[in-house]
Amino acid sequence: GKVEGFIEVGTGHLGPIPIPVLVTFVLLGLFYYVLHHTILGRYIYAIGGNIQAARLAGLAVDRTRVLVFVLGGVLAALSAFILASRLNSGQPNAGLGFELQVIAAVILGGISLTGGVGTLGGAFIGILILTVLSNGLVLLNVSSFYHDIARGAVIILAVYLDTRRKQSLLRRLLAPPT
């Protein structure tokens, strides 16, 4: 049977704003606050930047990492709930391939694969870039087979640029003073 309000979560609007978009912006605001204005946020950046230094500084590394993984799981569950409500069904492979899109988006947004560097705003920009790419491919009537190839190429390019940026930074840091 139908559950009252279930479909509304994924397809409903609050005024002119779709509920999933509203949820996204509320979560962006919440996590921006957490990352920039709480001890937890400082711990997350410190642990991501250098786990050994964070441990030596006395930070609760294991507890913080567990909390971050739990938050990731809760957000994945919320995303699955919204997707299921949009589809009006629970399909086990409905989110297949989303992990590639997420990795591509965060890399494009400037979040380092090695941790400690990146912003929510950057991740959001990465999501927008991939969304525009995906919508552009659909509008150009490109076969969906090539969508993954395009995303993969974007990931490779982003990883390459991230690696070059890190090498350049390292060269500047290690260069003798002039």
Q: What value does the CA radius of gyration of the chain take, rounded to a whole number of Å?
A: 19
CB atoms within 10 A of CB 43: 20
pLDDT tens string 137-151? 999 999 988 988 988
H or E element, residue 13: strand 13-14
The yes-or-no verdict on residue 173 having pLDDT over 90 is no
Highest-pLDDT range among 76-80, 98-102, 108-112, 171-175: 76-80
pLDDT at 1: 59
Please state, in angstroms and rounded to a whole number, the distance separating the CA atoms of residues 146 and 137: 9
Residue 93, token pair as written in the block: 């492979």
pTM of the model as a whole: 0.82
Residue type, 160: Y
Residue 132: per-residue pLDDT:
93
